[in-house]
Amino acid sequence: MNKRIQQEYRVIVLLGIIEQLKGTREEKLFSHLEISSSQFAVLNHFTHDPKRAWTVTQLRKVMEMNQPGITKVVQRLVEHKLLATTTDKKDARRKQLKITSKGLKYCEHTARLLMPDIHQVMGHWQDDELADFSKHLEKLKCWLDENRDTVILPNKG
Residue 12's pLDDT band (boundaries 50, 70, 90)?
A: very high
Instruction: Record the pTM.
Output: 0.86
Rounded to whole angstroms, how far apart are CA atoms 6 and 27? 32
As a whole number of angstroms, the distance between CA 99 and CA 10 comes to 39
pLDDT score recorded for residue 17: 97
Find out whether 113 and 34 touch, Cβ atoms under 8 Å.
no
The pLDDT tens digits for 84-128 are 999 877 877 788 999 999 999 999 999 999 999 999 999 999 999
